[in-house]
Chain A
Amino acid sequence: MSSIGRNLRTDYLQANEVFHRPYQQVLIVFVIIIAALIPAVSSNFFVHLLNLSFLAAIGALGLMLLTGFCGQISLGHAAFLAIGGFTTVILIVHVGAPFIVVVPASALSGALLGFIVGLPSLRFRGVYLAISTLAMHYAIIFLATFYQTKFGQAATAGIPIPDPTIGPFTLSGDREWYYLLLVLLALLTAGCVNLVRTRPGRAWMAIRDRDIAAETFGVNLARYKLLAFVVSSSLASMSGSLLAYYSNVVTVEKYTLDLAVIYVAMVIVGGMGSILGALLGALFITLLPFGIDALFDYLPREWRFGSTLFGVQVGAVGVCIIVFLLFEPKGLAEIWRRAETYFDRWPFRYRPLESARR
């Protein structure tokens, strides 16, 4: 294939390829091998951080499908995570269901809720849809608070969850969790990549780009919008359930609007409309507070005391959202793509038209 052909797709089959460059397969195998070796060489804390990123990445994949591919803005992602967490609690406390059952069941209840939350999208778009997901967020969190005050031991401490068991194994250490999450994330990522290549993904992108045009092409708007909400919320809910198991506690205080915004930040920083972006964004935003913490080691010691560090960690997410939206709207994925193009063209420079830059 010529060098131009890698960016210029001339037929449907080319557009539908997963790997557009010959070295990408090699790169992915390489990344997976590295990822599998990380726990052997790094500290427990780093593995813990990666676990958190993987959990976030599962949720971010969900939001990416909804916002990045289907163009439906949602500020209710924390509520979907909460539904996963609370379904987990309810199934464990009242039914005593095992891990293998609880996680899919959480995904299912998330799907059901996504259907309900998605219903307003049939009437509104844009600003009003964002506000309606905001209202849904508060409604769901209110219900969760109600449940927690009724069934939790103390109103603020949350509800404890035991370590999950799969057959004879008990998942307790960070390293066991790491492999489970790595495999799960790899499978889900592969699933999402294929989902956006096939009919639903194409329909979503058509809806995102122009819903009326999509409808004239025969895309059933109601069906595919609801499907986007259902898939997105079931992924988020699954991530919420796993997070509940991983952190051994479910408390409603964790599912604030700020958390929903953090997921939005992952999608923006990663790059709208890119599965790779969801992964990069989740990794970046999850590691950001810890990176700032490390940076504070080089600053005057008294800054660490009080709330300065926490405040800066909170604010950094906001700054990332603003800076990326203003200066790099397609996010980290676009930076990666530019790097790839640079090496494709080397030693020549590649300058897209001014109008094609954004």
Chain B
Amino acid sequence: MEFLATIVILTCTNALLAAGIVILYKAGRTVNLAHGELAIVGGYVFYSASLSGSDPSLPFAIAGALAYSICMGVFIYVSMMRRLVGEPFYVAILVTVGIAIVLKSAIIVIWKAERLTIDFGVAPAVYFSGGATLSYMDITGVVLTIAFFVALFLFFQFTRLGVQFRGTAENALLASQRGVNVNFVLSLAWVIAIGAATMSGVFFGARAFLSTDAVMIGLAGLTAALVGGLDSLRGAIAGAFIVAAAQYLTVRLIDPVLSEAVPFLILLAVMSIRPWGLFGTMEELDRV
């Protein structure tokens, strides 16, 4: 039971990250290497915002996280990514690497690289026989992740903006000629991706801790996205599950030391066997 619960929670953290990476890849053919940093900084913002009142308050925290996602998303798109249209592919990737470093330094300067756990002092919801626990935060995380993916599906499938979104992903130039506000759509993509990353960072911070090392969750998210296929949202969930299961099983069955190595081992395997991922399109691949 505990085994299943842990895998499901890990899957949710990975899936939220992977979804953001996939959305950004589809929107602008950018692989965001700053995703782990964006998630963890989001967690820190959530933590600090929750303390802005007299006692820890959830509404403040959520408002802070939302404001962070919107400001950061719009800022990154408008001030950096928008200028990079037509530049060689590596420029956008390297800009995200630069963003990653700046965010890491923000953790050091603003939060003194402190190890923090997001904790509202609520007793765990479920006790397992082995001493492990499941908190309300974890359960909320799972529920919200499912809600997020359902909402994303409905949004892309049934709303006008969602259709514009898919159109922009397919061909931004044609979309803009048919009157789609491409700049709005692409900034929204960044906001959604960072919002999902922040959720992931918060749930990770509630379960483990926030620190400069925690940004490694970005690698797990990237691996999950690649396993599923960089251009497939369905794949993000499947990939997240595979990575989570592999992480958990190596820790449990083989050696805890290996847990950090698992994402990149899967990454290497995927790159050599099926680089377009489980659900990705093969044509999408930048092949030589």
Contacts and interface: CB of A to CB of B under 8 A. Distances in A.
Is this pair of chains taken from one and the same complex? Answer: yes
Interface of A: 67, 71, 73, 75, 120-132, 134-136, 138-139, 142, 211, 221, 258, 261, 264-265, 268, 306-308, 310-322, 325-326, 329
Closest 10 CB pairs of A and B: A315-B105, A318-B101, A311-B108, A321-B98, A311-B109, A138-B264, A318-B102, A322-B98, A126-B286, A135-B267
B178 interface: no
B100 interface: yes
A325 B100 contact: no
A322 B95 contact: yes
Nearest to A267: B94
B271 interface: yes
A317 B101 CA distance: 7
Contacts of B265: 139
A123 B109 contact: no
Given A127-B93, A322-B95, A325-B98, 9 more contacts: A122-B288, A124-B285, A127-B230, A138-B264, A221-B288, A261-B100, A307-B112, A311-B107, A314-B104
B91 interface: yes
Contacts of B268: 132, 135-136, 139
Contact of A314 (B89, B90, B101, B271): B101
Contact of B95 (A125, A138, A325): A325
Contacts of A321: 94-95, 97-98, 101
B275 A124 contact: yes
Interface of B: 29, 31, 33, 80, 83-84, 87-91, 93-95, 97-102, 104-109, 112-113, 219, 222, 226, 230, 261, 263-265, 267-268, 271-272, 275, 285-288
Contacts, number: 138
B113 A307 contact: yes
29 contacts: A123-B275, A123-B287, A123-B288, A124-B287, A125-B287, A127-B93, A131-B31, A131-B222, A132-B268, A138-B219, A138-B264, A138-B267, A139-B264, A142-B264, A258-B101, A264-B97, A307-B108, A308-B108, A311-B106, A311-B107, A311-B108, A315-B109, A317-B98, A318-B102, A318-B105, A322-B102, A325-B94, A326-B80, A329-B87
B113 A135 contact: no
A128 B285 contact: yes
Contacts of B112: 306-307
Given A124-B286, A128-B286, A314 B108 contact: yes
Chain A interface helix/strand/loop/mixed: helix
B108 A322 contact: no
Nearest to B108: A311
B105 A312 contact: yes
A119 B270 CA distance: 15
Identify which of A67, A139, A325 gathers the most chain B CB atoms within 10 Å of its CB: A325
Nearest to B225: A131
Contacts of B93: 73, 127, 130
Contacts of A314: 101, 104-105, 108
A311 B94 contact: no
A264 B94 contact: yes
Contacts of A322: 80, 95, 98-99, 102
Nearest to B285: A128
A113 to B, nearest CB: 15
A213 B263 CA distance: 36
A143 B115 CA distance: 28
A207 to B, nearest CB: 10
B85 to A, nearest CB: 12
A324 B146 CA distance: 41
Contact of A135 (B83, B100, B264, B288): B264
Nearest to B267: A135
Contacts of B108: 307-308, 310-311, 314-315
Given A264-B97, A321-B98, A308 B109 contact: yes
Contacts of A75: 97
Nearest to B105: A315
B48 to A, nearest CB: 16
Nearest to B34: A318
A130 B109 CA distance: 29
Contacts of A221: 288
A318 B267 contact: no
Nearest to B275: A128
Given A306-B112, A315-B109, A120 B271 contact: yes
B288 A268 contact: no
Contacts of A316: 105
Nearest to B29: A127
B94 A268 contact: yes
Contacts of B102: 315, 318-319, 322
Contacts of A258: 101, 104
A67 to B, nearest CB: 8
A343 B97 CA distance: 36
A129 B29 CA distance: 14
B105 A261 contact: no
Contacts of B261: 138, 142
Contacts of A268: 94
B90 A130 contact: yes
Contacts of A329: 87, 91
A320 B107 CA distance: 18
Nearest to A225: B288
B217 to A, nearest CB: 14
A142 B264 CA distance: 10
A321 B95 CA distance: 7
Contact of B106 (A123, A315, A325, A326): A315
A69 to B, nearest CB: 14
B98 A311 contact: no
Contacts of B226: 131
A75 B267 CA distance: 15
Contacts of A136: 268
A161 to B, nearest CB: 26
